[in-house]
Every structure is written in structure tokens, then in C-alpha cells.
Amino acid sequence: MAQPSRARSPRAAPTPAPTRPVSRDPVLRVLAGGAVRLGRLEDTLGFHLRLAQEASFAAFSRRAGTSGLRPGHFAALVVIDGNPGLSQTALGGAVGRDKSTLTPTLRDLERRGLVRRERAEGDRRSYALTLTEAGRAALGALTGHAAAHDAALDALVGEGNRAAFLATLRRLIAGLGGEGR
């Protein structure tokens, strides 16, 4: 969500609203409870989980937005960094995406000179993925954003609360994961 919203063919600068007394952010406005009542959603864990995730995602995008690297790029860089030489299919498995989904992402990362793709020795169908020096630098910068972002989250969650909160999220992830698939 939170589309970067660059105007397609702006025939004139749209003159951003000069003052903004009320937040234009939907998430904030939702919980501020403007005029509209959200009914039973208001006490629902799933709904709040969704809002918190959207807010977190948007906040991260604000920090990292300048690089042109989106979350998908970041995830790929992190996993390649931690597992040099892995294949595209393995990467897809790790991040939960089909290999065809990763093709454009990896082509893009290679074009930017951040990732190297070499035919694997043992199996010449697959690529061995590694980060270049520039890739490590880009990852470092993104990691800085991510760390700042997580520090902001930590501050909101609260020192003494973090471990319990993370443990609860992990229980949800593990407990909800496997039923009908």
C-alpha cells in the first residue's frame, strides 16, 4: 500500500494543501475515529495487525524511499548476503515468492551492479547469487534505514515489552501458518 504517488502527466503542479490541520493519513484518521464508526472492527486483533503492518511498511518506505530500492529488493539482498551462492529458486522459497516473481527483481539488482549471477558449477541450469561490493554497500545503507526503523518501533513498543511482543508475533506466525495449504 502507500503508493509512491508520483503524478503521471501533471499539467501543472497540483498545489499541495498549504495547511493540514487534520492528518491525511488514512491509518491515523481511522483510529482517530473521525466521523465514521468502524463497528466491530474496533476491537479486532486482525484489523489492528493489518493497520500496524501498513503503518510500519509506510514508515519504512519513507526512510528508504530515496534509494529506489523497494522492500522486495531489500529482502533479496539480505537473504543473498546471508546465503551467498544460493539459487533463485532457493531465494524464492525463502522469501515465499515464486521464481518467476523474482526474475525482474534480480535482473534489476544485477543491472544496478548489486548482485552477481554466475552459472553454478555443479548444475549449469541454476545461478549462484552473490552480492557485489556495491551490493554490500547498498545493503549496509538499507540496513541503516531498517535499524532506525526498528529503533522507532522498539521505542513505541517499549523496552520491557519487546521480547513479549515479538514472542506473541512468532506464536501467531507459527500457529496460523499451516492449516489449509
Query: Residue count at the site for its own copies (CB under 8 A)?
Result: 78
Residue 44 binding: pick among DNA, its own copies, none (C-beta 5-8 Å cut-off by kind): its own copies
Residue 103 binding: pick among its own copies, DNA, none (C-beta 5-8 Å cut-off by kind): DNA
Contact positions toward DNA, by CB under 7 A?
A: 1, 3, 5, 7-11, 14, 70-72, 87-90, 96-104, 106-107, 123-127
CB atoms within 10 A of CB 3: 6
C-alpha distances (whole Å) from 87 to each of 15, 17, 109, 112 are 48, 48, 15, 19
Q: Give me the least distance between CB of 37 and DNA, in Å please.
A: 18
Q: Give me the least distance between CB of 100 and DNA, in Å please.
A: 3
Q: Which amino acid is at 65?
A: G
Residue 37 binding: pick among DNA, its own copies, none (C-beta 5-8 Å cut-off by kind): its own copies
Residue with cell 484489523: 47
Contact 2, 61 (CB under 8 A): yes
Q: Which of residues 2-41 bind its own copies (CB under 8 A)?
A: 23-31, 34-41
Among 72, 78, 89, 148, binds its own copies (CB under 8 A): 78
Q: Report the distance separating Cα 164 and Cα 161, nearest Å.
A: 6
Q: Report the distance separating Cα 53 and Cα 73, nearest Å.
A: 18
Closest CB to its own copies among 103 and 168?
A: 168
Judged by CB under 8 A, does residue 128 bind its own copies?
Answer: no
Q: Which residues contact 55 (CB under 8 A, 6 or more apart)?
A: 27
Stretch binding its own copies (CB under 8 A), from 54-62, 110-118, 119-127, 128-136: 54-62
Q: Which of residues 131-160 bind its own copies (CB under 8 A)?
A: 143, 146, 149-150, 152-158
Q: What are the start-end ranges of the H helices in 21-132?
A: 26-32, 45-64, 71-82, 88-95, 99-111
